[in-house]
């Protein structure tokens, strides 16, 4: 073939083919060198392409493993930043087909080994003019950062000795229950003080006192329901949040139940150490007007009244 001017078109045509091949080769080399995982999925969810980083992030050893994993992943459960299941219409592929693209969404994905991986994921449709467009998904592993954040959050809201939630957690949980219908029905707050901790420390040492606190924490946890909260307020003080719709007489029965659970002596080494506790209770109304700080303060005051009168105060 020759152009009107008499010049051949073959060199130009060959150069265009070579340029296209070069571009594809360069693109493949770039994508294969990324630290970010890149996956292309067909409309039916089957795997079309993945780069080495995607294999490494998901712990996949062979292409067969990868194909099986992503075929299953299109039907598997994803989790949002709070760990709640993501509904199918919010899954990455579904979002991409609905909106065309999304960027940097945090998802939790369970791996075959049972470990939960946290990834920042972006996706967009390819070849949109096609009736069967592919989806390009890119993602980076942020599991370590997520675990660091969770660890710091746990440390900020839990007591290192007993593992119980701390005062900050209690105040937040009370506030959530008061402000949100989803927070659960907070029925009562119990404030407990271990009367003999100082004497135990003086007689047997602080290590024995720590063992006493841990024993008290374990017993309190065993005494309450799955929706209730046991927390260490600080020092020798504990707080219990009771949720549900228990009548008033049942609420007052809680103090006796907790007191009896704590009253059994604790064996520390060769010593048998008794536990006595002063317990104050405040009820929380459905139309409660007090805030979290005031409710907790009233429970603390009820405990001190019980301590002075040597009774397990309920009000």
> Which residues are the active-site residues?
236
Contact yes or no for 263/220 (Cβ under 8 A):
no
Which residues does residue 190 pair with via DSSP β-bridges, in sequence order?
A: 240, 281
State the DSSP string of 274-297.
Answer: ---EEEEEEE--TT--S-HHHHHH
């Amino acid at each position: 073939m020759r152009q009107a001017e008499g010049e051949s078109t073959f060199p130009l045509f060959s150069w265009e083919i070579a340029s296209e091949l070069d571009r594809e080769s360069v693109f493949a080399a770039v994508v294969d060198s990324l630290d970010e995982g890149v996956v292309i999925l067909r409309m039916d969810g089957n795997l079309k392409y993945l780069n080495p980083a995607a294999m490494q992030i998901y712990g996949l050893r062979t292409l067969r493993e990868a194909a099986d994993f992503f075929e299953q992943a299109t039907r598997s459960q994803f989790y949002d930043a709070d760990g709640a299941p993501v509904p199918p219409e919010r899954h990455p592929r579904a979002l991409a087909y609905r909106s065309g693209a999304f960027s940097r969404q945090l998802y939790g994905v369970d791996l075959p080994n049972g470990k939960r991986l946290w990834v920042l994921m972006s996706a967009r449709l390819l070849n949109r003019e096609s009736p069967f467009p592919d989806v390009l998904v890119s993602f980076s592993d942020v599991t370590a950062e997520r675990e660091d954040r969770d660890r710091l959050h746990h440390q900020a809201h839990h007591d290192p000795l007993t593992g119980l939630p701390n005062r900050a957690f209690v105040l937040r949980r009370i506030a959530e229950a008061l402000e949100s219908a989803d927070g659960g029905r907070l029925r009562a707050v119990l404030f407990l003080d271990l009367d003999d901790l100082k004497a135990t420390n003086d007689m047997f040492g602080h290590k024995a006192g720590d063992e006493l606190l841990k024993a008290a924490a374990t017993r309190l946890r065993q005494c309450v329901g799955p929706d209730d909260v046991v927390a260490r307020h600080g020092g020798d003080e504990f707080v219990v949040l009771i949720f549900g719709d228990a009548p008033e007489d049942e609420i007052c029965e809680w103090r006796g139940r907790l007191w009896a659970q704590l009253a059994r002596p604790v064996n520390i080494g060769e010593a048998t150490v008794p536990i006595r506790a002063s317990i104050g209770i405040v009820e929380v109304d459905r139309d409660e007007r007090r805030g979290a700080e005031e409710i907790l303060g009233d429970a603390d005051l009820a405990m001190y009244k019980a301590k002075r009168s040597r009774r397990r105060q309920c009000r």
